[in-house]
Amino acid sequence: MDQDNEPQPLSDESCLSFEITAIENGSENTDTCLNSEAICQAREELEKWQTDILKLEKENSDLICRKLDAEDERKRATNQLCKLNSEWDNYKDEFLKEVKSCQEMLREKNQKYIKLKGQVVELENDLQRKQDLCDSLCTKFRVKWHFYRQCNCASRILKIAKHQIDLQSEKIQVKAQSIPSDTMQQFEIHLNISMKKISVSKIPNNLPEQMRDKLEISFSKSSLGGGEVESIEYPTSSGTAIITFVEKRVAQRIAEQKKYPLIINGKTTCWLKVEPVMGSYLKKFQIFNGVSKRSVLLSDIKSTMEEEEMQDKLKIHFQKPSKHGGEVEDIKYVPKDKHLLVHFEEDSAEK
C-alpha cells in the first residue's frame, strides 16, 4: 500500500477547520431538513392528488360505462318503441278492417231484418186474406148439421117392457116404447178451388173486340201478381171472363187480391173483380129413418091424478138412477091418449 494513502493524524487547525465545516454543514443540513419536510408535504399532496385523480378517473370510467349502458338501453327502448309502433299500426289496421266488416255485416243484417219483417207483414196479410176467403166460403157453403147422441138412460128404460111406478096414493104400470125420428139425410160436401183459373167480372164493354187481348196483357204482368196466361174464356158483352194461367198458384195469388187493375195503353182504366173458380159436389149421400135416442113414450097410463101432479110424480120417478132413469130435460103427459112423452138430457160423459 502507498504511504500517501495512509491516514494522517489531524492537527488543531484541521480540527477547527473541521468544526467550522461541520457547523456550516450543520446549517446546510438544517436547510436540507426544512426542504425535506416541504418535499414530504409536497409528496403527500402529490399522493393525495394522485389518489383523487385515480378516484376521478374511476368515476369518469364508471360514468362512461353508465353512458354506454344508457345508450344501449336507449337503443333497445328505441327499437322496442319502433316495434310497438309497428304492431300498433298493424293492430289499428286490423281493428279498422274488423270495424268495417262488422259495419257491413250489421248493414246486411239490418237489410235482412227489414226484408224478413216485410215478409212477415206480407205473410200476415196473406194469412188474413186466406182467413177472409175461408170465412167467405164457410158463409157461402154453410151446412147445419144435427147430431143425436146416444142417451143411456133412455135405452135402459126401453129394455124393460113394463115399468111399475109407485105414485104413493096408487101404483100404476106403464109400457115403454121408442119414438120414430124424422127422415134424416147424411152427405159430404167436397169443394174444389182451382189453382190455375180465376173468375173476372165487372169488365167494361167499351172495347169488345180488343178486350180479350187487353185482359191477357193486364193479367200477364208479374209486377201486379200475374203470370203467363194459357187461355181466356170471354163471351162478348157478358162482362165476365174465366182466365186460365200456365203456372199454378198464380190464380190463388190474384184471387186473394179480390180486385185487379185493367191496363189499357199503359194506364189503369178500372178495377176488375176477381174471384177463385170453385166447384162443389156431394158425396156419400144417404137418406134414412131412425129412432130418437133420448126420448121415450110411456103408454097405458091409468090414474085418477091431476095432469100437473101426474107429470111431477112421473118426472121424479124417471130421474132416479135406481129406476134406470136420469136427468129429464122435458116431460109431457097427455091425459086424452093416456101416454107420457119423456125427453132425457145427454149423458155427461157424452157431452
The larger pLDDT score, comparing residue 307 to residue 84, is at 84
DSSP 327: -
The C-alpha cell that represents 192 in the structure block: 174444389
Residue 298, phi then psi, degrees to nearest 5: -105, 120
Q: What is the pLDDT of residues 15-34, one digit of tens each?
A: 444 444 544 555 555 566 66
Number of helical H runs and strand E runs in the chain = 5, 10
- List the one residue out of 248, 261, 263, 331 whose CA is nearest residue 297: 331
Strands 162-166 and 241-245: unpaired
Q: What is the mean pLDDT of the chain?
A: 78
* In contact, 272 and 201? CB cutoff 8 Å: yes
Residues composing the chain: 351
CA atoms within 13 A on the CB side of 24: 6
How many angstroms separate the CA atoms of 51 and 132, rounded?
115
In a 10 Å sphere around its CB, with 0-12 CB exposed, 13-18 middle and 19+ buried, how is residue 153 labelled?
buried
Handedness of CA 45, 50, 53, 54 (dihedral sign): negative
With cell 136427468, the residue in question is: 327
Same fold, 152-182+289-350 and 186-287: yes
Q: What is the pLDDT of residues 166-204, one digit of tens each?
A: 777 788 888 888 776 656 666 677 778 888 999 999 998
* In contact, 310 and 303? CB cutoff 8 Å: yes
Handedness of CA 228, 230, 236, 239 (dihedral sign): negative
Fold type of domain 186-287: Alpha-Beta Plaits (3.30.70)
Min mean pLDDT across 57-61, 123-127, 135-139, 255-259 is at 135-139
* In contact, 181 and 283? CB cutoff 8 Å: no
CATH code of the domain made up of 152-182+289-350:
3.30.70
DSSP 334: E
pLDDT over threshold 50, residue 318: yes
Min mean pLDDT across 149-153, 196-200, 315-319 is at 149-153
The pLDDT of residue 148 is 42
Pick from 152-161, 229-238, 286-295, 296-305 the range whose average pLDDT is largest: 229-238
Domain residue limits, the chain: 152-182+289-350, 186-287
The pLDDT of residue 185 is 63
CB count within 10 Å of CB 295 equals 17
The model's pTM: 0.36
